[in-house]
Amino acid sequence: MKYILSNIYSPKNLGDRAIIEGMVKCIKANDPSAEIVYMSKFSYELIHDLKWNAINNIINLNPRNKVIGQSFEMVLDFVRFLLVYLTYKIIGKRILKFIPKTSKYYQVIDADIVLPVGGNYLFSSTKIVSRNYFMHVINILCSKAFDNKVVLFPQSYGPLTRAYERRFLKWSLNKVDGVYCRDIESRDFIIECGVNAKQIKVIPDIAFYHINEEQLKNREGSAPKGKVLVTVLDWRWSMVTEQSNDRQEIFDAYRSCMIEYIKFLSEEKKLDVCIFSQVTTVDSNDHLLSLELEKQINNPRVYATKMENDNLADILSFYNSFDFVVGSRMHSCIFGILQGIPTIGIGYQPKTIGLFNLLGIPNYAFDAKSVSSSDLIDITKRVMENFSNENQKVIELSKSVKERITLETRDVFQN
């Protein structure tokens, strides 16, 4: 069968990279001869950096273009789509005789199934119109317009603060063939929006498909190394219900919390602290914030770093060298948990707390808007005092997750 993995973000976001490669592993486990094509507005990175078979989104928002250029490209793409769609409705798949095989339309029409795997893009923005939200959903609908089987793989949904956004979500998701949510809160939210509950399933994030049982065995009984990995980000863009001044105040409190907490780790507990940049895309400032915290804390035990290595195995191995992970990026938490590493989550969106709730460890996650350094210090002391037990608990949890994903997704790959 031929698969399109659509709505992909940049592989320079390590979480999205893990989603893409996890999805490929999942497909190949069920269909070893599968042909896979990647659809993304970052297709140039997938083609040039990774040498993957990639195409642009049907309606594309090229991140390298400025707003006017993007708008012009979108209009042209929409006109092209309408022409191809109308022709397809008249002559069906015979249209493939008249389209170059390298065309994105050829690839989509020729596909057996389209799997949007973007992770988390269906939420309101702070701007008047949530352009990325609508473009992602429109691309899903465009794939469905060519009579493809379309199944959304584990996504987080919301918050959607505007009534018309929720109505559009209901109308769109009721047209696809299946919806997987990666947390119970997302499932409940889209049901509340009016999406048919019968087509919804809840499974952990597909990045958990990278679980390696041999690595988990090696971690059993491991002794502490005195090293902690922390991820941070400037998440003011996600505060869709707060006023501008409130956003700054909330973020400043989060930043102060992280500084105090990292000082506790490095000064009181004498631990080495790596402030790791999980995302290095052009629109991310993870590394700038990491460097800022490193400078403010000014302790040789604390260092900011990033890995622009496209080898996901090396990145996971890097994570595995730490005693525990404290993640403001959800996939940094997943990278810890899937390797049996005690992990504490700080959620700037509902998805992180939803992840920990789904895994049955809700006490290890905190809301970034209200977390305090004392919250993090208290749970860290508990982890350190019972390191062996905490380590083993996460290892046992991790072993069960991949099997759960396999069982719940098997029917997707049946003709």
Structure token pair of residue 204? 């952990």
Pairwise pLDDT comparison (130 vs 404), residue with the higher score:
404
The type of residue at 142 is C
pLDDT of 240 reads 80
Indicate the SS3 state at residue 113.
Answer: strand
Contact 364, 324 (CB under 8 A): no
Residues 275-324 pLDDT 10s: 999 988 766 789 999 999 999 999 999 999 998 766 889 999 999 999 99
Q: What is the CA radius of gyration of the chain?
A: 22
Backbone angles phi, psi at 10, to 5 degrees: -70, 140
pLDDT of 74 reads 82
Residues 25-49 pLDDT 10s: 999 999 999 999 999 988 888 888 7
Element (H, E) at 85: helix 67-91
Crossing angle of helices 131-145 and 163-173, rounded to 10°? 20
Q: pTM of whole model > 0.85?
A: yes
Give me the domains of the chain, ranges plus CATH numbers: 2-202 (3.40.50), 210-400 (3.40.50.2000)
Nearest to 119 by CA among 151, 170, 156, 160: 156
Element (H, E) at 4: strand 2-8
CA–CA dist 169, 163 (Å, integer): 10
- Angle at 373 (CA atoms; ends 322, 205), nearest 5 degrees: 50
pLDDT of 48 reads 83
CA–CA dist 175, 167 (Å, integer): 13
pLDDT of 415 reads 63
CA of 38: how far to CAs of 10, 93, 281, in Å?
11, 21, 18
Nearest to 301 by CA among 271, 330, 281: 271
Mean pLDDT of 327-352: 96
Indicate the SS3 state at residue 2.
Answer: strand
Three-state helix/strand/coil letters over 314-380: HHHHHHCCCCEEEECCHHHHHHHHCCCCCEEEEECCHHHHHHHHHCCCHHHEEECCCCCHHHHHHHH
CB-CB neighbours of 178 under 10 Å:
18
CA–CA dist 180, 175 (Å, integer): 14
For residue 348, what pLDDT band results from cuts at 50, 70 and 90? very high
Q: What does the longest C-alpha to C-alpha distance in the chain come to?
A: 72
CA–CA dist 415, 34 (Å, integer): 13
* pLDDT above 90 for 130: no
3-state helix vs strand vs coil in the chain, percent to 5: 55, 15, 30
Q: How many residues does the chain have?
A: 415
Structure token pair of residue 1? 């069968």
Long-range CB contacts for residues 170-173, cutoff 8 Å, separation at least 24: 170/194, 170/195, 172/137, 172/140, 172/141
For every residue of 243-280, DSSP letters joined together read -HHHHHHHHHHHHHHHHHHHHIIIIIS--EEEEEESB-
Order the strands of the 302-306 sheet from edge to edge: 302-306, 272-277, 227-231, 324-327, 343-347, 365-367
CA 271 to chain centre: 29
Q: What letter does residue 157 receive in the DSSP assignment? A: B
Indicate the SS3 state at residue 131.
Answer: helix
Residues 255-279 pLDDT 10s: 999 999 999 999 999 999 999 999 8
